[in-house]
Each structure stands twice: as structure tokens, then as C-alpha cells.
Structure 1
């Protein structure tokens, strides 16, 4: 084959490759790249989402955001939910994974039961827990009344002191089964000989978990903590159905306030600016987490 033929063949393969990736690239450009840059531009405007008039206002949206008590409250709620959910979801998932891994009978049944809440949509789950927690006609309230323990009733969805707790409980119930599967895969990848050798040396169950199982779950924990943190920073469905951000603004998060401002108050420019800040927050948290968790993996 001459050099000219080789170049011609190489160009033909290059053309085929370009044609192969072109449809995907066009779709990616239309649905990811263009909306991303459009959102960045809209965050500097006062667009209402309806009118064709888009007025550029510079950094006014970000200045307003900086001084907004409502945004500060939403940021505080978002950070509280993120920290608490990451801890509770992962602790619960590890406990469930150990339980399922140790059980001898009906193992697949328990896996299915614990994983079932993951299959429910956030909207359906929100309605179910609203029925359970409602102060007037909820399952918990009726059960306490039947037991003559009405004085123990709490308005979990209507009291600002407990509303965020209700969101945390329902989210942990829904999400823990998903992370359980990842931890279960990690547990089954740990050689049983290590625990057997530790038991022969006199290590009890807690010592085996602390010095063998937990360190060897570092890879699974990195994945679960990352997914849990990103999910909690974007939490929306439960809040929309169960509390609508209330009572007052007690359960508003950055994701929910983006929706309320952008679509409820017709301030798409301001809502897009909030979404941009949320994106940057998630990006920074993810980078820091990856660095810390990868470092922990190496150390262990």
C-alpha cells in the first residue's frame, strides 16, 4: 500500500468516525452545551420566563441573593440536610448490608424489602408519608389516639421545629436501600479468611468490623458518600409534596427556592442565578469530597 493510499484510507476512517459521533454531538450540543451557556447569560438578566423582553442587569441578581435572608435560610437548610442525610443514610445502609449479609434464611426476601422504597418515586413516597405523618388524620396520630397517648402527638409537617426532621426521616427511609446494595457488594468482596483469622486471634465482632471490614469498605463508601451528598444537595420531591417549603420557609432548600422563584414568582433570571450558585456549590463540594475520600482510601 502506497503512502497516498494509506492517507486516503485514514481519511476515510476519520470521516466514518465523524459521521458516527455527529448525531450524539449534535444532541449533546442542543440539550447540554447550549442550555448551559444560555443559563449563564440568563442569570445576568431580569427575564420573567414569559416575555420576549430580556433585560441585562449585570450582577444585580447575585447582589440580591447575597443580602436575601430567604436564600441564607435555604442555604442553611441545604447544608443541614446534606450533612445529616450523608451520615444517616450511610450508617443505615452499612447496618442493613451487614444484616442482609449475615442472615441465613430468606436473604433475597430481606434484600427486596429493604430495596423496595428506592423503587418508589419521590412524589409517591411524599404522599405516603404525608398520610402517615399528618397531625389530624395521619396513621401515627390515629394510632396514638387509639392507645390513649394523644399527648405524644407531634405536628411533624406543620411545626417548623419538626418539619425538617420529617424530611430527613422519609429521605433516609427511601434512599438507604440503594446504598445498601453498594455496601453489600463491597462486603461480599472481602475475603472471609481475614475475619476467620482475626477470630482465631481473639478479635470480637466489633474489632473485626473496625479493623477489617470498615477499612476494606473504603471504595464503596467513597461512591456512596459522593452520591448521597449530591442527592441531598438537590433534594426536591419530598419537600414539594410534604411541606411545600413550609411551614413558612422552614424547609426551603436551594433547589426548591429555584423552582419557587423561577416558576412560582416568574423570576427566571433570578432563579437561574440561584441554580448557577447551586451548581458551583455542588461542584466544589464534589471536588473536595473526592480528594478527601481518595486520600482516605490510600491511607487505609
Structure 2
């Protein structure tokens, strides 16, 4: 038989185990409703999509014919998909660079301005409150060839020869979408960079200024390196957002003129719902998912190493 002390210790351990078990049971009860909803509306549809990607289902009929890897073979051979992939990469690279450059510039301005700081912050952030559809309609009206504000301003200042069909010309349609999307999205990333700037001790810049460092040198060697964490977040978020952009293209150009602005997300919609090829559209959606996953993992790994260096 054990000593009274050891017996008491065993009792305490037993009570502790029961308390932990009860706590885990209560935690499971709280998690269970969300887990059920997540399973029904995310996991099950995802598994169903994987199956449909191997079929020729049209999205309406009950005839679901298994065709193996035919959809994926068509994806890698289709010139239309290749063009959409090229447009997606151009759009993504342009948006990631321009949105983050504009966001950092606006954050620096809001952080350093002495007067009307809240006003500037509100003005820069306001476009992010608009939905992609509303923003698309606004910019479609602004860039309209016949009555758009932009062309009217060019005519008013004697630059009528510069007035072009911004959304109807294949050479300018993608540029128009990129610039309008930067206008909408940069303010969101500005808030993240602004939070990062406010976490940088002012003593560092003051010491650098005393040592004779210029404003650019202070930004390059102090401010920008210390924004590494904010840069990682903004780069990843802007990349994911750009890879799955849809609203602006649907409203402003409908993927045109021709296929000049058709991206992977938009071709998924057109093929799946417009051409009634749900099987092919689902297969393309899975390819896009894998692409986003790979790009995000690589990007995070590279940017995290940069954070460690600084």
C-alpha cells in the first residue's frame, strides 16, 4: 500500500484529469456547431468539386459522366486558358507592385503630415469601402469613350487627340483595370503599413537625422527594413486578391475586348455558367487553387527570410 502522501497525490492527479476531460468536452460542444457548418458548406462541396472536375457535367442535367483527366488535359492545351493565365500573371504582378508602392507612400504621408491627418486617412481609405461591382460601374462611366469624365477633361484642356476608348481598346483595357483596382485597394494596405510605421521608435529616425542621413536614406535603411512584417502581410494579401479578381473585370470589360482582359477566375465563370461546362470550370478552379497555394507558400517563405535578416 502506498503512503498517505502518495495516495493524496494520485487523487489530485485524477481530479485534474477529470477537469481537463470536462473542459475538453465543453470546448468540443462550443466548436461542434461551427465544425458542422464548415463541414457541410466547405469540406463537402470541396470534395464534390474534386469529383466533378473528372466529369463532363453541364451543371443542369442529372447526367454526370466520368471522363478522367480529360478536363485537365484540355486546360494545359487550351490557347484560351494560356491567354487567361498570361493576363492573370500580368494583372497580379502589376497590382502587387503598384498597390504596395502606393500604400507605403500614402502611409508615410499620413504618418508624417501635421494637419488634417484624419482627413487624409479617411480619403485614402474610402475607396476600399466600395464593392468591386460599384467601383467597376463608377470607373466604367469615368472611362467611357463618349461621355466619360476623363475624355471630357482631355477635350476641355485641348488634348482631345489623347481621348481613346480606354475599355474598348485591347492595348489600354488591362491598364485601365489595373489603375482602377489600385485606386480601390491601396487604401486597405495603407492601414496595415500605417500600423507598422507607428510601431517604429522615433528615436531611430532622430538619431539618423542627427548623423546626417537624408530622408531617403532613413527610409531605405531604417523605415523600410522595419516594415518587413507589414510587407509580408500586404504582399500575400494583395497577391491572393489579384489572382482571384473577378468583379471589376465582369463589370468593366466582360473579359474583352475579345479576350484581352479574361483572367482565370473570369474564364471559370464564363465556361461554367455561360457555356454550361461545369466539369471543365471546376477542374480549372482546382488548378487556380493549387496555383494560389503554391505562389502563397513560396512568397511567405521568401518574405519570412527577409524578416529574419532584419
Shorter-chain TM-score tier: over 0.9
- Of 106, 120, 123, the residue aligned with 2:133 is 123
- Of 166, 172, 177, the residue aligned with 2:176 is 166
Counterpart for residue 86 of structure 1: 96
- Cα distance in 1 for partners of 2:202, 2:22 equals 54
Counterpart for residue 228 of structure 1: 238
SS at match of 1:157: coil
Q: How does 1:62-211 map to 2 (within 5 A)?
A: 62-211=72-221
1:3 Cα deviation after fit:
8.0
Deviations 1:235-257 (A, max 9, x none): 10100000000000000000010
- Cα distance in 2 for partners of 1:241, 1:222 equals 30
Across the aligned residues of Structure 1 and Structure 2, the Cα RMSD in angstroms comes to 1.5
SS at match of 1:57: coil
SS at match of 1:105: coil
- Cα distance in 2 for partners of 1:121, 1:134 equals 20
- Cα distance in 2 for partners of 1:192, 1:262 equals 54
- Cα distance in 2 for partners of 1:90, 1:6 equals 51
CA gap of 1:87–1:8, structure 2 versus 1, over 3 A, is closer
- Cα distance in 2 for partners of 1:170, 1:4 equals 64
Q: Indicate yes or no: 2:202 matched with 1:219.
A: no
Q: Indicate yes or no: 2:31 matched with 1:21.
A: yes
5+ residue gaps in structure 2? 1-10
5+ residue gaps in structure 1? none
1:219 Cα deviation after fit:
0.5
Counterpart for residue 7 of structure 2: none
- Cα distance in 1 for partners of 2:18, 2:157 equals 85
1:290 Cα deviation after fit:
0.5
1:7 Cα deviation after fit:
6.5
SS at match of 2:171: coil
Counterpart for residue 277 of structure 2: 267
Q: Which moved more, 1:63-72 or 1:136-145?
A: 136-145
CA gap of 1:180–1:9, structure 2 versus 1, over 3 A, is closer
Counterpart for residue 6 of structure 2: none
1:8 Cα deviation after fit:
6.0
SS at match of 2:64: coil
Counterpart for residue 244 of structure 1: 254
- Cα distance in 1 for partners of 2:85, 2:198 equals 39
1:137 Cα deviation after fit:
1.2
1:132 Cα deviation after fit:
0.5
- Of 258, 274, 294, the residue aligned with 2:268 is 258
Query: How many matched pairs?
Result: 300
- Cα distance in 2 for partners of 1:220, 1:13 equals 36
- Of 58, 61, 66, the residue aligned with 1:51 is 61
Larger C-alpha radius of gyration, 1 or 2? Answer: 2
